[in-house]
Amino acid sequence: MKQGEHAQQSGGNAGPSNEGSGGASGLPSRLGEYYLDTVPDTLDLAERGQLGIGHFTSLLEERLGYEMPIMAHLAVGRPPFMQYILNDIGTCQPKALEAMAFLRLMTGSKVGLDKESRMVEMMALMLGDDGLYWVPGSPDKTWLGIPEPFAAVHGQGRMLRAMIAWYQYTGDPAWKRRIDRMVEGLDKVLSVHKDDYAYFPNHGFYDEEYLRSCFTHKGWKDQIEPKNEKAGEEGSLFNHQGHMPGALATWYQLTGNEQSLRLSGELVRFLTKPKFWADISTLTPADLAAYAPWQQFPAISGPEYPAVIGAEHAHWQGHIHGHINTLRALLEYALATDDERLKAFVRDGYEWTRQEGFIRIGYIGDGQGCGLGRLIGLAVKLSNAGVGDYWEDIDQYIRNQGTEMQIMPDDREYMESLSVGKPPPPKTYALPGDVRNTDHVIDKVIGGFGGHIIKDSVWLCCSPHGNMGLFYAWDGGLRYDEGTARVNLLLNRASPWVDIYSYIPYEGKVILKNKESREVLVRMPLWIDRQQLQVRVGSSPVANVWLGNYIRLRDLKPRDVVTIEFPMRESTEKWTVRKLHRFLKGPEEEVCTCRFKGNTLVEMSPDLFGSPLYKGRAKQYQISKAPMRQVTRFVTPKVLTW
């Protein structure tokens, strides 16, 4: 849409397409195989993913057309309750849809397939003939916030990513037709093209938070170009539209859709304008006032460092989720076009981002369960692309906050206690038009991710990204190409190429059972003493051949068993940890004494600002021999591009 043109009237073209769901749901045929195995009782991301699938499918309510609630309140009053508010179906449920494809692939779980298929069909039918993802607003569904059909900008990008995942996961060509139509709609209906760049307006006809970036039959209220990064939902332009060019670039890489790449490039040229980076010191008082409700930290009053041009190195201040989304999108376009300058820009942005919080354990941003999942995805993509080597970071993240923020069955007693003795929830929590559900709330949140470190709420923004963080680490932790398996993370993992049995952090031992690999490269964490590392193939010791941080094992045969042993290192470290959210109690910062076994935090004093995190680990990991258990393992040769 050229500058000055009136927004196209979607009219009768906006609404459900006539295509139907076309086999959009269910497990693909020949997805993988299952088998019993005895493994160390240590971190297993596929097992965590099974809990995630149970969480998402339990949220689906037939009486509400298989919509998911946006949040669960566990401590506001008794009983705990879930809420359906605002346009959760328009923005957050597509995130869950994407996560569910990932989790099905990594786990082979068949839990809740019937309900999932109905949800997928419902969401596929919301794709209009113009390709956009239209929420059929209704005066009867007051919790949506808009009484007429609308297309949220944020939701388009999230639905595009979800459809790309489902296209690969199911192999159903109907998804390709839908995605190509959405690319057309994003290009011709929703975006504004100007000079060599494009953007999405952020002023629709509804001014409420989370609704102002929604497109309706009337088009846009105005097409004014956003003047700074804080001009958007949650005080961040990047939060609701920054991830869009990444999905478009990925679609080009998968299918060669040139329109998708062109639009991606136009959006990238807009999002990389210097005015959007390192911007807080340049904002007017009115800009800062609009941003204030979302601001976690004081604004910088001047240049960040002498001689540093932060806008050229992806330095930023503000909304961590939006900036990570955007950095990843920029990287995806850079990979599609082999843009070395843009790759370096993203690398700088990642390394700037990881200076915040207590990064040693992945406590970043506002401490929500979704921020780290996004950062894990960015770190994995950077590492897989060779733009940086961040596997040590990823190992630290996933062994700590990346899994500790997930609601586990062992958390049930704590979660039940949060509402004991409290009166019914106050009316002040009743937002206009909200619908509540008090049915088996504790059961349904297990497998989700906490809205913050107190774990007293679970949100449909946090749970998808937290669970996707599990998938990103699972997917990136083991890669295979033409006979060579590359083990990047020493975590339990089954695959068609090699199975990994990790005894860490109880013992310094990892066993690999080879299946199809002729060569295996095994990355050793930085805390391992290389001089004391011992490797055997069967009962025969082999010399350590190093390629960087990887041990190289060649000429392997099927059924070879590789044993790698090393002393388990314990360390005590002191870190200064700052509060990452205003509502947390206690001092603004504390010096914490942390005990690690390898990269696993086993004890912390004082605790993380009154949260229940890590409190059971000292007892759990006090033994020096890993317990064993029998499990059903699932393997699939299918690999997704995400």
At 246-271, the pLDDT tens digits run 999 999 999 999 999 999 999 999 99
Residues 117 and 137: their CA atoms lie apart, in Å, by 22
DSSP secondary structure letters along 295-349: --SPPP-S-SSTT--GGGTT---S-HHHHHHHHHHHHHHHHHHT-HHHHHHHHHH
| Residue 432, pLDDT score | 53
**220-to-8, 121, 410, 558 alpha-carbon distances in Å:** 9, 29, 48, 61
| Residue 429, pLDDT score | 56
From the centroid of its chain, how far is CA 209? Answer: 22
Query: Residue 13's pLDDT band (boundaries 50, 70, 90)?
Result: very low
Task: Report the amino acid identity of residue 407.
Answer: I
Among residues 448, 345, 338, the alpha carbon closest in space to that of 403 is found at 448
Alpha-carbon dihedral 40, 44, 47, 48, rounded to 10 degrees = 140
What is the rounded average pLDDT of the residues 45-74? 95
Residues 292 and 230: their CA atoms lie apart, in Å, by 10
pTM of the model: 0.94
Residues 187 and 164: their CA atoms lie apart, in Å, by 17
What is the rounded average pLDDT of the residues 34-38? 97
* Residue recorded with tokens 């929830």: 425
| Residue 294, pLDDT score | 65
Task: Report the helix count and the strand count for the chain, using DSSP H and E.
Answer: 18, 23
> Residues in the chain, how many?
642
Is the pLDDT confidence value at 2 over 50?
Answer: no
Is the pLDDT confidence value at 535 over 70?
Answer: yes
What is the rounded average pLDDT of the residues 84-91? 84
Tokens of 91: 């923005």
Residue 22 gets the label, from left (phi > 0), alpha (psi -120 to 50) or beta, of: left
Tokens of 567: 């002393």
Q: Is the peptide bond before 94 cis (omega within 30 degrees of 0)?
A: no
* Contact criterion met (CB below 8 Å) for 314 and 345: yes
Q: Which of 118-127, 225-234, 241-250 is predicted with the least confidence, judged by mean pLDDT?
A: 225-234
Q: Which of 285-294, 379-388, 564-573 is predicted with the least confidence, judged by mean pLDDT?
A: 285-294
Is the pLDDT confidence value at 586 over 90?
Answer: no
What is the rounded average pLDDT of the residues 440-450? 97
Paired residues of 73 in beta bridges: 81, 457
| 51: helix, strand or coil | helix
**492-to-123, 321, 500, 505, 510 alpha-carbon distances in Å:** 34, 29, 5, 12, 9
Instruction: Just give the CATH number of 478-568.
Output: 2.60.40
